[in-house]
Structure 1
Amino acid sequence: MTVITGRPFHVVGAGCSVGKRGGRLVAFKEGLPRASAPLTMISEVLVSGRVQVSTAAMHALLAHDIPLVLLTENGRPLGRLEPPSGAHVDARRAQLALHSDPDARLDLARAAIAGKIRNQHVLLRRRARRASEPEAVWEAARRLSVLETRAANCDSVPEVMGVEGGAAGIYYRAIRTFVDPALEFTRRDRQGRDVVNALTNYCSALLRETVVSGILAAGLDPFVSFLHEPARGRPTLAFDLMEEWRPVLLDARVLVLIGLKSVTTADLEDDGTARPRLTADARARIVERFHARMAAPARGWPEPPSRRSYRDQVRVQCTALRTWILGRSDGYEPFAWR
Structure 2
Amino acid sequence: MKETYYLFSSGRLKREGNTVCVINKNGEKRFVPIEKIESLQLFGSVDFNSKTLEFLSSQGVTIHVFGHETNYVGSFYPRDKNISGRLRIAQVENAVDKRKRLYIAGQIVHSSIHNMMRVISPYASNCNVSDHLESLKFFRDESLHAEDVTQLLGIEGNARRTYYDALSTVTNSDFEGRKKRPPEGQLNALISFGNSLLYTEVINRIYQTQLDPSVSYLHEPMQSRFSLALDISEMFKPLIVDRIITTLLNKNMMKKDDFDETFERTYLSESGRKKMVQQFDARLKNTLLHPRLKRKVSYRKLIEIECYKLIKHLIGQQNYQAFKIWW
- What is the TM-score when the length of structure 1 is the normalising length? 0.70
Q: Which residue of 1 aligns with 2:189?
A: 198
User: C-alpha displacement at 1:179, in angstroms?
Assistant: 2.4
User: C-alpha displacement at 1:192, in angstroms?
Assistant: 2.9
User: C-alpha displacement at 1:211, in angstroms?
Assistant: 0.8
- Matched AA of 1:180: N
Separation in structure 2 between the aligned mates of residue 130 and residue 77 of structure 1, nearest angstrom: 45
Separation in structure 2 between the aligned mates of residue 233 and residue 305 of structure 1, nearest angstrom: 39
- Matched AA of 1:320: K
- Matched AA of 1:294: L
Q: Which of 128, 141, 153 is the equivalent residue of 2:124? A: 128
Query: How do 1:102-113 residues align onto structure 2 when only pairs under 5 Å count?
Result: 102-113=98-109
User: C-alpha displacement at 1:189, in angstroms?
Assistant: 1.6
Separation in structure 2 between the aligned mates of residue 48 and residue 153 of structure 1, nearest angstrom: 47
For the structure 1 residues 291 and 263, does the alpha-carbon distance in structure 2 shift closer, same or farther, using more than 3 Å as the test? Answer: same
1:187 counterpart SS class: coil
Structure 2 unmatched ranges of 5 or more: 5-33, 39-57, 65-74
Query: How do 1:139-178 residues align onto structure 2 when only pairs under 5 Å count?
Result: 139-178=131-170
Structure 1 unmatched ranges of 5 or more: 1-10, 15-46, 52-67
Q: Which of 308, 314, 324 is the equivalent residue of 1:325? A: 314
Q: Which of 240, 243, 248 is the equivalent residue of 2:239? A: 248
Q: Which residue of 2 aligns with 1:212?
A: 203
- Matched AA of 1:243: E
Q: Which of 303, 323, 327 is the equivalent residue of 1:334? A: 323
For the structure 1 residues 95 and 292, does the alpha-carbon distance in structure 2 shift closer, same or farther, using more than 3 Å as the test? Answer: same
Is 1:117 aligned to 2:104, yes or no?
A: no
User: C-alpha displacement at 1:102, in angstroms?
Assistant: 0.8
Deviations 1:263-309 (A, max 9, x none): 2343222599x633211121111111111111112477x56644201
Separation in structure 2 between the aligned mates of residue 278 and residue 295 of structure 1, nearest angstrom: 23
Q: Is the 8 A contact 1:298 1:304 kept in 2?
A: no
Deviations 1:7-27 (A, max 9, x none): xxxx5689xxxxxxxxxxxxx
Q: Which residue of 1 aligns with 2:177?
A: 187
Separation in structure 1 between the aligned mates of residue 110 and residue 166 of structure 2, nearest angstrom: 18
Q: Which residue of 2 aligns with 1:235?
A: 226
- What is the TM-score when the length of structure 2 is the normalising length? 0.72
Q: Which of 17, 30, 36 is the equivalent residue of 1:49? A: 36
Q: Which of 310, 316, 328 is the equivalent residue of 2:299? A: 310
Is 1:93 aligned to 2:89, yes or no?
A: yes
Query: How do 1:269-284 residues align onto structure 2 when only pairs under 5 Å count?
Result: 269=260, 275-284=265-274
Deviations 1:225-264 (A, max 9, x none): 1111111111111111111111111111111111222223
User: C-alpha displacement at 1:310, in angstroms?
Assistant: 0.4
Is 1:288 aligned to 2:275, yes or no?
A: no
For the structure 1 residues 333 and 277, does the alpha-carbon distance in structure 2 shift closer, same or farther, using more than 3 Å as the test? Answer: closer
C-alpha root-mean-square deviation of aligned residues, in Å? 3.1
Separation in structure 1 between the aligned mates of residue 235 and residue 289 of structure 2, nearest angstrom: 14
1:228 counterpart SS class: coil
Q: Which residue of 2 aligns with 1:20?
A: none
User: C-alpha displacement at 1:202, in angstroms?
Assistant: 0.6
2:287 counterpart SS class: coil
For the structure 1 residues 69 and 124, does the alpha-carbon distance in structure 2 shift closer, same or farther, using more than 3 Å as the test? Answer: farther
For the structure 1 residues 243 and 101, does the alpha-carbon distance in structure 2 shift closer, same or farther, using more than 3 Å as the test? Answer: same
1:269 counterpart SS class: strand
Q: Which residue of 2 aligns with 1:25?
A: none
1:307 counterpart SS class: strand
Q: Is the 8 A contact 1:297 1:310 kept in 2?
A: yes
Q: Is the 8 A contact 1:208 1:239 kept in 2?
A: yes
Q: Aligned residues: percent identity?
A: 24
Q: Is the 8 A contact 1:298 1:313 kept in 2?
A: no
Query: How do 1:67-86 residues align onto structure 2 when only pairs under 5 Å count?
Result: 70=60, 79=78, 82=81, 86=82
Separation in structure 2 between the aligned mates of residue 223 and residue 312 of structure 1, nearest angstrom: 21
Separation in structure 2 between the aligned mates of residue 256 and residue 217 of structure 1, nearest angstrom: 30
